[in-house]
Structure 1
């Protein structure tokens, strides 16, 4: 969606420039030429004056308040499903300029367990979503389907077997557990029928200014276990609400998920 952001900024700047130029110079010039007649506004000016306020409001809301995203993959199942449309709080971790994502006002830092949207270092034009597991200075380990935070293993409670619908059908049969991340218990999936090497076992110490992120679908997530740490500069915001859920293969709109908060 970066192309949309670039187009929105470009259109806002263009219509704003036309509106300002007309207000300061062109309108007076037209009035002088028209004399006693009613001056006629060029169609470009007319459209600019109509669309600039709308574009400016949309740009400000999208850049500094909340931005919609669509979940394209299953790395966060069962928390987020393919086809979920979510809202992301854009001021949770600081106000950032559109396009460049440069932070100019700090408002907070990610907490352990937050579900964050970011642009991964290896795919800077894509928006990904994962859960923050490790904060700067933490030592994170993953062994035998267990996450360790600073040497302490997290506790897990078996809920049952996951039953997926539509695009999540392939995940049916996975173990559905509640991971007791301190202060942020949340569901995760674990598979017994996938190659052991894909689980991404190891131990990592999170450097300053970085975070360790993982998908809740532990055996089907390309995350920090494989590509490294998430720099703070690549954060886009904190996911907090599902505002729509659509999966044609599962029957269309899933009304039960609309309005659900993201744990």
Structure 2
């Protein structure tokens, strides 16, 4: 009898330990840092497919979007952040809120789908933003853009989704060099970062967008391969992003895998360990 009770008590203690660990992990993820795995190439070459980073949630304060979503299709689990913290949704405000700076790389919830996106802040509330011939114009003044050589990557399937990159040098066979023109863009506040160009397309010439108060305008650094604020959410883009949808700032890449899984250590990119996001 004593042995049975001892065994039963051991199981209960194990369950308690697991539950406590999950609660602590959930609180930590909700309040401080959230892991994020880069799934697409919209932020190349700042962020590559397979980069793994932690998002600083303290940077902009907290809203309903600070709660984690738990999506595991294989197990039929689909718990959205709004299901947990929906009570805090709807007023476009944040607790301990601090607005992002132009040029910050931010993870946010897509205003239409709720999916986590990562892009760069280009337009602040009240700004007028336009793209003309591929150059961003903010409040009537074009940003500085300087040529910076070429970005070269291998034309092959990338990441778990097995995506193939778009190339400026047209059709490239598997294993060939896929090229994109590279530039250094400097925003009005002096923040400089790399952007890529593939060719001329409709998103290189836009109307003038006036960013509403309490909203932000985002663009990907891989300018011709990014679904962002240049396209309204109702037609597949992002549109203006409400302040409350911001999750946090991406500050540093922890490590990076060029393979289909972070567990394939032989595909890790050693030159990206602990690299600052600029």
TM-score (norm 2): 0.74
- Cα distance in 2 for partners of 1:244, 1:205 equals 37
Distance 1:37 1:177, change over 3 A: closer
Q: What corresponds to 1:131 in structure 2? A: 120
2:203–2:230 Cα contact (<8 Å) kept? no
Q: What corresponds to 2:74 in structure 1? A: none
- The number of aligned residues is 226
DSSP-derived class of the 1:219 partner: helix
In the alignment, structure 1 residue 244 sits paired with structure 2 residue 255 = yes
Please, which of 180, 184, 187 is the counterpart of residue 191 of structure 2? 184
DSSP-derived class of the 1:47 partner: helix
2:63–2:244 Cα contact (<8 Å) kept? no
Larger Rg: 1
Higher relative contact order (CA 8 A, sep 6+): 2
The Cα of 1:145 is off from its aligned counterpart by 0.8
The structure with the largest helix share of the pair is: 1
Q: What corresponds to 2:150 in structure 1? A: 161
Stretch of structure 1 that moved more, 212-221 or 181-190: 181-190
Distance 1:37 1:78, change over 3 A: closer
TM-score (norm 1): 0.78
Unaligned runs of 5+ in 1: 1-33
What's the C-alpha RMSD, in Å, of the aligned pairs? 2.6
Deviations 1:119-170 (A, max 9, x none): 111211x111000000001111111111011111101111111111353754
- Cα distance in 2 for partners of 1:107, 1:46 equals 39
1:200–1:226 Cα contact (<8 Å) kept? no
The Cα of 1:42 is off from its aligned counterpart by 4.6
Q: What corresponds to 1:143 in structure 2? A: 132
Please, which of 46, 66, 76 is the counterpart of residue 79 of structure 1? 46
